[in-house]
A and B are shown apart, each in its own frame.
Chain A
């Protein structure tokens, strides 16, 4: 391993600009002559717009224009498209109601876009927006999923019973048969709480139009600028790709929420063309809460059938998933193909059946948030397994070990479509048990008890599917896009290298990790490598970053392009050294003729590629610039074991994470420092979901938790330091052997935390607790448990 190659904890290239205030985030960008947009948003969860009068606003100081949905309609602007079609049980397509960029007749959630004011300053636009008169006729808001499908008000007239789809996977009859043979059945009902992603940078967008060329440019806070160009250009604004450039510069966190095409992007781009001026929009945090897609929000009932030895026979799951008021870009796939397909977990359960009903409500749209479907699956399974252990008398370790897919059983085909390629779940469990000091837990528990505290330990042995790709697979499952990745590796005449990647970094450190791939492969000095991302004007194509796909798909594309560079450079070296190509060896940045001392540096070959004075031009082209598009054979399957210890004060319900261990198998690790950082962040979000975070809507559909005063973000003093370990089995179908590390923390951790609470309080009669398990909720549960015990 070299100091900057694969496996080295290289310090990040991007840090210098971020640490000195020289990052370039969308709101930091100012275009000459720019104007400012302010969006008027619905204060109602559900209402008919009787009348909309913008005349006073249009006449207000500094106002350039006021536009409504009717103006968009008049220009033939389409609604926001959905990128994934899920079919019903009878194969009919899902309900796919229109999703207008600005509404015309009806608002469907608090925050829905009603009109846009464009003015010389943001303050003038905001003040003018208050002069718009909207005559709303409020309609009953439907918020609860059961009410939505039980005859509640219709969010969309073309979605009967507020149902988007009623989908299923697995063999229901085989599952029924297996349950008949069960020695024991464990049943649980579980809610996966709705979360707000809350990337620290609020969304922003700047539309720009060059009247000389007719070219549009959109600067936006996106995880995937090429996808935005495709969706917005082709489906909303009718701007062909060659006239539309989308730039996603430094982006301050995404966690899924910046994957989607949002109305504001289309509005500022369209308005910039109409007004012949740049139009800038930046969300305030209060807007982020009511417009950024939310995550999770499932209600599930599940049963696990076990034989007399505690082996799982079958799993039956019924889930309701909240879509919110409209279908966001990838919403339909989250509770189906990113959730139900993971219900085998790390276990050999032979039969699984899952049905999912996706429901519209008058709430903010829900889409992928860090983990997307897989946290919901792991939470369900690991809570269910924990309960089954308690009911059968097996230990938490024993029940898992009896049901693990064995390390030698790969490739392993699950009953819910996925084929796992590698893993060693026993090894990650063992390593985690050692790291937490499992053998001394009882002693720690006694010590806590002496201090009047309850101590509990909770386990989660999870798996996820990421490296979100195979176009053929996702296409067969309803994706309306391919999920490959592209990379161009451009070697300059002096031997320095620029990589153009379709992946997008918004905190992941690609500029460092991807440069390590080049340094390792080509032997080029680290400072002579540059990674370019986030600009459709510079990068051939890209599907962006989500589903922990950057290294497994984007990195592999870079490797393929780099291998082509080596192949081409080998041809050039052979010519220069007057040897046959087969005799040329390439190692540590040097080409040699095997068995001789004839050698050329990579830089010399690069220079020759651009100064091809004596190239045989019929057989050897000048230049050293290669592109690869990579579409993998399968998803990747990181997995591992998270163990949490909590200590609870039964008098107050106060909970402390006493220890947290994450041992993950993310495949080969390119930069261990960055991987550990990704795990820390994911675990923090998982603990946030388990203990602190959750959306609360009141009965009228107002988001009560609509600011940082009300939505409990994890803060430094809510969290412990984490113990992070790694046990790699290599991905079998990419050359790097990498799997993905961005989401494992958020997927593995919530059930470990909640299982630890249940363990701590089981003898107090607390057998279940919902997320977020706040001190108040814990205290109430203890009181209820003790009352129930007293009554017996």
Chain B
């Protein structure tokens, strides 16, 4: 049986018919063809699928699409203003916080939520916050540097 679902994604109203078992990430990737949000595991461990739902970060593999009914969802595609990167995106580029790019959308979305909660996180706080985001390329060194710089930029320099 299918369910009608409507939500706001990156400021636009979207709707679709989904199965009860359809995950939010499947709705984004397969129904809306918004493929910026990635799937890296099947146990909600890797964090590649982190999006913001109603302003806070969430692994979009842990929520059914029907549970997001009426929600305000932001994905990696919704951060930049045209070609102008969000300060956290810009910091990742400036500090080489990404290599293959696959974990990057989740890392950036998660990092922004961290800074929204804690505007000036320490290295230890950043590393603990990222416990739910796996990266195999960077060894996290430059991700931490990027988030420190991104937080500074989000604070206004």
For window 70-103 of B, CB contacts with A under 8 Å fall at 75-77, 79-80, 83, 85, 89, 92-94, 96, 98-103
In terms of DSSP, what is the predominant structure of the interface of chain A?
A: loop
For window 253-284 of A, CB contacts with B under 8 Å fall at 253, 255, 284
- Minimum CB–CB distance for B113 against chain A, Å: 15
Q: List 10 A-B contacts (CB under 8 A).
A: A19-B85, A21-B75, A22-B36, A28-B29, A507-B137, A508-B99, A684-B138, A714-B139, A715-B134, A716-B127
Q: Which of A168-176, A194-202, A312-320, A569-577 contacts B (4 or more CB under 8 A)?
A: A194-202
- Minimum CB–CB distance for B76 against chain A, Å: 4
Cβ-based interface call for B40 (8 A): yes
Partner pick for A721 among B103, B133, B141, CB 8 A cutoff: B141
Cβ-based interface call for A442 (8 A): no
- Tell me the complex Cα distance, A745–B38, Å: 27
B93 touches A707 (CB 8 A): no
Cβ-based interface call for B37 (8 A): yes
| Chain A residues near B124 (CB-CB < 8 A) | 717
Known: A19-B101, A27-B29. 6 other contacts (CB 8 A): A285-B42, A509-B99, A685-B139, A715-B131, A716-B130, A719-B140
| Chain B residues near A28 (CB-CB < 8 A) | 29, 35
Is the interface on chain B under 10, 10 to 19, 20 to 34, or 35 or more residues? 35 or more
A507 touches B101 (CB 8 A): yes
A200 touches B134 (CB 8 A): yes
- Tell me the complex Cα distance, A719–B124, Å: 10
| Chain A residues near B115 (CB-CB < 8 A) | none
Cβ-based interface call for A20 (8 A): yes
| Chain B residues near A791 (CB-CB < 8 A) | none
A252 touches B134 (CB 8 A): no
B76 touches A12 (CB 8 A): no
A285 touches B34 (CB 8 A): no
Once A20-B80, A708-B45, A719-B139 are accepted as A-B contacts, the answer to whether A25 and B130 lie under 8 Å apart by CB is no
Ordered nearest first, which 9 A-B pairs have the shortest CB separation?
Answer: A21-B36, A252-B102, A684-B139, A18-B101, A507-B100, A708-B45, A507-B99, A28-B35, A21-B76
Q: List the B residue with the shortest CB-CB distance to A18.
A: B101
Cβ-based interface call for A395 (8 A): no
Interface size on A, residues (CB 8 A): 57
Quick one: which of B38, B138, B139 has the most chain A CB within 10 A?
Answer: B139
- Tell me the complex Cα distance, A22–B99, Å: 15
A716 touches B100 (CB 8 A): no
Cβ-based interface call for B112 (8 A): no
Cβ-based interface call for A391 (8 A): no
B141 touches A722 (CB 8 A): yes
Cβ-based interface call for A156 (8 A): no
B96 touches A12 (CB 8 A): yes
Q: List the B residue with the shortest CB-CB distance to A253.
A: B100
Q: List the A residue with the shortest CB-CB distance to B48.
A: A200
A707 touches B85 (CB 8 A): no
Q: How many A-B residue pairs have CB under 8 A?
A: 181
Cβ-based interface call for A713 (8 A): yes
| Chain A residues near B149 (CB-CB < 8 A) | none
| Chain A residues near B98 (CB-CB < 8 A) | 15, 18-19
Cβ-based interface call for A673 (8 A): yes
B100 touches A708 (CB 8 A): no
| Chain B residues near A673 (CB-CB < 8 A) | 96
For window 35-50 of A, CB contacts with B under 8 Å fall at none
B123 touches A721 (CB 8 A): yes
| Chain A residues near B131 (CB-CB < 8 A) | 715-717
- Tell me the complex Cα distance, A86–B142, Å: 41
Quick one: which of B85, B104, B126, B130 has the most chain A CB within 10 A?
Answer: B104
- Minimum CB–CB distance for A359 against chain B, Å: 28
Once A674-B96, A681-B137 are accepted as A-B contacts, the answer to whether A200 and B76 lie under 8 Å apart by CB is no
A286 touches B77 (CB 8 A): no
B34 touches A21 (CB 8 A): yes
- Tell me the complex Cα distance, A507–B93, Å: 13
- Tell me the complex Cα distance, A440–B109, Å: 41
For window 712-746 of A, CB contacts with B under 8 Å fall at 713-717, 719, 721-722, 745
Cβ-based interface call for A424 (8 A): no
Cβ-based interface call for B24 (8 A): no
Cβ-based interface call for A452 (8 A): no
A709 touches B77 (CB 8 A): no
- Tell me the complex Cα distance, A678–B141, Å: 11
Once A681-B136, A715-B131 are accepted as A-B contacts, the answer to whether A20 and B38 lie under 8 Å apart by CB is no
Once A19-B92, A23-B101, A508-B99 are accepted as A-B contacts, the answer to whether A255 and B136 lie under 8 Å apart by CB is yes
| Chain A residues near B143 (CB-CB < 8 A) | 716
| Chain A residues near B46 (CB-CB < 8 A) | 200, 285, 708
- Tell me the complex Cα distance, A681–B79, Å: 27
Quick one: which of B40, B105, B123, B142 has the most chain A CB within 10 A?
Answer: B40
- Tell me the complex Cα distance, A714–B127, Å: 11
Partner pick for A14 among B37, B41, B101, B139, CB 8 A cutoff: B101
For window 18-48 of B, CB contacts with A under 8 Å fall at 19, 21, 29, 33-43, 45-46, 48
Once A19-B92, A28-B35, A507-B101 are accepted as A-B contacts, the answer to whether A683 and B41 lie under 8 Å apart by CB is no
Cβ-based interface call for A123 (8 A): yes
Cβ-based interface call for A677 (8 A): yes
- Minimum CB–CB distance for A482 against chain B, Å: 27
| Chain B residues near A11 (CB-CB < 8 A) | 93-94, 96
- Minimum CB–CB distance for B140 against chain A, Å: 4
Interface string of B107-128 (1 = CB under 8 A from A): 0100000000000000110111
Q: List the A residue with the shortest CB-CB distance to B124.
A: A717
B141 touches A25 (CB 8 A): no
| Chain A residues near B93 (CB-CB < 8 A) | 11-12, 15-16, 19
- Minimum CB–CB distance for B123 against chain A, Å: 7
A21 touches B99 (CB 8 A): no
| Chain A residues near B42 (CB-CB < 8 A) | 284-286, 707
Cβ-based interface call for B65 (8 A): no
For window 614-639 of A, CB contacts with B under 8 Å fall at none
- Tell me the complex Cα distance, A507–B77, Å: 20
| Chain A residues near B75 (CB-CB < 8 A) | 21
B100 touches A200 (CB 8 A): yes
- Tell me the complex Cα distance, A512–B150, Å: 23
A680 touches B100 (CB 8 A): no
| Chain B residues near A684 (CB-CB < 8 A) | 138-141
| Chain B residues near A15 (CB-CB < 8 A) | 92-93, 98, 101
- Minimum CB–CB distance for A338 against chain B, Å: 21
| Chain A residues near B29 (CB-CB < 8 A) | 27-28
A199 touches B100 (CB 8 A): yes
Once A199-B136, A252-B38, A285-B41 are accepted as A-B contacts, the answer to whether A123 and B100 lie under 8 Å apart by CB is no
Cβ-based interface call for B151 (8 A): no
Cβ-based interface call for A30 (8 A): yes
Cβ-based interface call for B50 (8 A): no
Cβ-based interface call for B144 (8 A): yes
A716 touches B104 (CB 8 A): no
- Tell me the complex Cα distance, A123–B148, Å: 41
- Minimum CB–CB distance for A627 against chain B, Å: 28
- Tell me the complex Cα distance, A676–B144, Å: 14
Cβ-based interface call for B58 (8 A): no
| Chain B residues near A678 (CB-CB < 8 A) | 99
A20 touches B79 (CB 8 A): yes
Q: List the B residue with the shortest CB-CB distance to A24.
A: B35
Q: List the A residue with the shortest CB-CB distance to B79.
A: A20
Partner pick for A202 among B40, B77, B138, CB 8 A cutoff: B40
Interface string of A215-247 (1 = CB under 8 A from B): 000000000000000000000000000000000
- Tell me the complex Cα distance, A21–B19, Å: 25
- Tell me the complex Cα distance, A721–B89, Å: 21
- Minimum CB–CB distance for A257 against chain B, Å: 10
| Chain A residues near B101 (CB-CB < 8 A) | 14-15, 17-19, 23, 250, 252, 507
Cβ-based interface call for A251 (8 A): yes
- Tell me the complex Cα distance, A507–B98, Å: 8
B134 touches A19 (CB 8 A): no
Once A21-B36, A715-B130 are accepted as A-B contacts, the answer to whether A677 and B142 lie under 8 Å apart by CB is yes
| Chain B residues near A200 (CB-CB < 8 A) | 38, 40, 46, 48, 100, 102-103, 134-137
- Minimum CB–CB distance for A186 against chain B, Å: 32
